[in-house]
A and B are shown apart, each in its own frame.
Chain A
Amino acid sequence: MKVTILGAGPGGYVAAIRAAQLGAEVIVVEESEVGGTCLNRGCIPTKALVASAEVLDKAKKAKDFGLELSGEVSANIQKIIERKNKIVGIQVKGIRGLFKSWGVRILDGRGVITGPGKISVTLKDGGAEEIETDKIIIATGSRPAQIPIFPFDGEKILSSTDALNLEEIPKRLLVIGAGVIGCEFAFIYKEFGSEVTMVEMMPKAVSTEDEEISAVLERELKKKKIKLLTNIKMEKIEVKEDSVQAFLSDGKTIEADKVLVSIGRAMNSENLGLESIGVKTGQRGEIIANSRMETNVDGVYAAGDVTGGIMLAHLASKEGVVAAENAVGGDSAVNYDVVPAAIFTSPEIGSVGLREKQAVEKGLKVRIGRFQFRALGKAHAMGEIAGIVKLIADEESDKLLGAHIIGPHASDLVHEAALAIEKGLTARDIAHMIHAHPTLAEGIMEAAEDVHDSAIHMPKK
């Protein structure tokens, strides 16, 4: 059984290894670098920058912790990028090592489908290779979407990829789009020393999150003196020699040194030869796949960002696994009900399951438990007291429907709730389990208690 995979990002490389584990002969075609967006231009590099920003933030507050720091602490963007590149390099090597170990063949080049079971690859080093394959998995991912009237120029109008490779810290940074990516970069560059202004079309920042979480994040943006303008569209941008002038829909003008456009991502489904075999795509260019990751064409699967939907690396990986298992003759499907999300703003956000509004829209009766991080001794000891844990439980069954956390280590803490939702556990189940003290995880336990107004560390309501 021969499986050829287009794309070696978190969807593709994971599918490749799974298919190899199941005994298939696997070829992966990658036009850029293994690890895809996640490893090279997304998840990992931004976390490296976030780590640098965190250390800088703590260093600036050293006095609060009783420490004497002499001299100034500042961000050296070249060294920060160097560190980031080193980390990415280690991971890339790791994936290529895994391919070798599992016998996956990697072709560095661009693959195009030319007919049923036929892929034509133009190799990076020159030359070409024609592949005949039994099954195809398309995992070509996505790229930063640009605003047509002011496209990326890598100089003044930046994509998230550009923002990960800057040679100097912009004095004034304008961020268009206050979603996950925009917000993460806003905190990073503010910490490095930029003056940051954000413009968002929707009424709230990170509008994909529960409203209470957005509200806390907006307050945290304000605390850091990051200006956020919501319900505003960008009408025009004028690129001058030394600056950029942005004209907003409310008549105001903003001047900046660099503009980061983070309005979403576009699917990489063009020029893949999809028409040659009739693979159906949707309105936004997304390849249409069902929960078994099958496209409308027999033997052709798709996984990850290129299928649209929630664009998260871990979902791409799960879809890759399912695609691979099905390609090799299995019978798997993806459960989209429990997909945790992690946002590396400051403080972090971790969420899973239904938002309160979604639960209400579905006609569900819910009980909500909330607990503030500032009520936890651990949070105070750490010096990170901002944030809340919000749990949503079904009123009748007490089963956990959603968990929304903003605060220190939220990205890790959310998984206790994710497991609870996956296994149909109740708020009482979480409240009954002993949580170690002093930890941030106790906040989950207390929020679970609060669902029934019995949190010990909250005053009587």
Chain B
Amino acid sequence: MDPENLKYHKEHTWVNISGNKATIGITGYAQESLGDIVYIDLPELETSTEANTELTEIESTKATASVISPVTGSVVEVNEELSDAPEILNEDPYGKGWIAVIEVEEGADTNDLMDASDYEKYLEEEVKLK
């Protein structure tokens, strides 16, 4: 995935929407702040999730963090590779580190998501200065 073409959630997850399927992952900023990721609690298939709520949890050597779902829908695919090699989330967060594919609920609102430049600005202005 080319980070430039993705949409972003303020809780540092990215989304790639294609038709009614949304592939999600965590951003470069997220994996950097977390440090070495040692575990991701992959969601079960068919789990339903709501935008702005916790989809799953990630553990790094420094902290545990929630992965906030950027969309509302149901999990249809999960990246099993992350189960044995969670470090992929650090190494390639936008590519091999994709976490899940969510079938977006019909009529679900995806307008709250930022585009790449807005997310950059958001990081500069609101997040990194805190």
Contact = CB atoms under 8 A, between A and B. Distances in A.
B63 A372 contact: yes
Q: How large is the interface on B (under 10, 10 to 19, 20 to 34, 35 or more residues)?
A: 10 to 19
Contact of B63 (A223, A374, A386): A374
A144 to B, nearest CB: 32
Interface string A380-401: 1000011000000000000000
Interface in A359-376: 372, 374-375
B61 A223 contact: no
Nearest to A216: B64
B61 A374 contact: yes
Nearest to A215: B57
A380 B41 contact: no
B41 A219 contact: yes
A324 B26 CA distance: 62
Contacts of B64: 372, 374
B52 to A, nearest CB: 20
Contacts of A372: 63-64
A408 to B, nearest CB: 15
B41 A374 contact: no
A374 B41 CA distance: 17
Interface string B59-92: 1111110000000000000000000000000000
B119 interface: no
A124 interface: no
A374 B63 CA distance: 7
Interface residues of A, number: 9
A223 B39 contact: yes
A146 to B, nearest CB: 31
| Residue among A222, A372, A374, A375 facing the most chain B CB atoms (10 A cut-off) | A374
Contacts of B62: 374-375
Contacts of B38: 385
B61 A380 contact: yes
Nearest to A386: B59
Nearest to B83: A225
Contacts, number: 18
Nearest to A458: B63
A222 B61 contact: no
B45 to A, nearest CB: 14
A372 B61 CA distance: 11
A385 B37 CA distance: 12
Interface string A285-310: 00000000000000000000000000
B30 to A, nearest CB: 15
A385 B61 contact: yes
Interface in A187-241: 219, 222-223
A222 B63 CA distance: 18
Nearest to B62: A374
A44 B121 CA distance: 60
A219 B57 contact: yes
Contacts of B61: 374, 380, 385
Nearest to A220: B39
A380 B38 CA distance: 13
Contacts of A222: 41
Contacts of A219: 41, 57, 59
Nearest to B35: A374
A386 B63 CA distance: 10
Interface string A405-418: 00000000000000
Contacts of B39: 223
Contacts of B59: 219, 374, 386
A223 B83 CA distance: 9
Contacts of A386: 59
A281 to B, nearest CB: 45
A307 to B, nearest CB: 40
Contacts of A385: 38, 61
Given A223-B39, A372-B63, A386-B59, 15 more contacts: A219-B41, A219-B57, A219-B59, A222-B41, A372-B64, A374-B59, A374-B60, A374-B61, A374-B62, A374-B63, A374-B64, A375-B62, A380-B61, A385-B38, A385-B61
Interface of A: 219, 222-223, 372, 374-375, 380, 385-386
11 contacts: A219-B41, A223-B39, A372-B63, A374-B59, A374-B60, A374-B61, A374-B62, A380-B61, A385-B38, A385-B61, A386-B59
Interface of B: 38-39, 41, 57, 59-64
Give 3 closest A-B pairs by Cβ, nearest first. Answer: A219-B41, A223-B39, A222-B41
